[in-house]
Amino acid sequence: MCCMQFNFLFTSTAYVAPLLSIWQRELVIDPSKIASRYLSKAFWLEFIAALPFPQVLGASWYLLAFSRQVACWREICNLQSPVCKLQYIRCQYIDSLRKSWFQSSNITNLCNPSNNFYQFGIYAEAVNNNISSLPFLQKYFYCLWWGLKNLR
């Protein structure tokens, strides 16, 4: 159904194509020409350029905040090198050694932005509010809100 709506929308939306002169214009109503225009690289570049800046800013902030959290975990793991293995950081890796390391490492307290062990900078808010564990829509709107808040 979605593909049919997409097909109908883009093949039934005419556009004005410039001709050789800037004064001459042509209304394009041929579905194949309309489809080829919307599937061209130029259209997608314009579409991406038209994305709202706060969404892009907020999404970047979210990804960088998560990477700062992982960097903190890696730093703690490197400090406890013989006991900790970097694979312990991956969510898919579950065994008894990982659980015992997690309980003895104090990683949750050390990687807390209120602790001065690791500098999170502008990403401390995301770590404090535990953004990565929120449902998708809450993450999306929180990041959008953060992007809008920082446009001032």
31 pLDDT above the threshold of 80: no
* CA distances, 23 to each of 17, 18, 44, 66, 140 (Å): 11, 8, 26, 52, 44
State mean pLDDT over 27-56: 73
User: For 50-77, what is each residue's pLDDT tens digit?
Assistant: 667 777 788 888 888 888 988 998 888 8
CA distance 43 to 101: 51
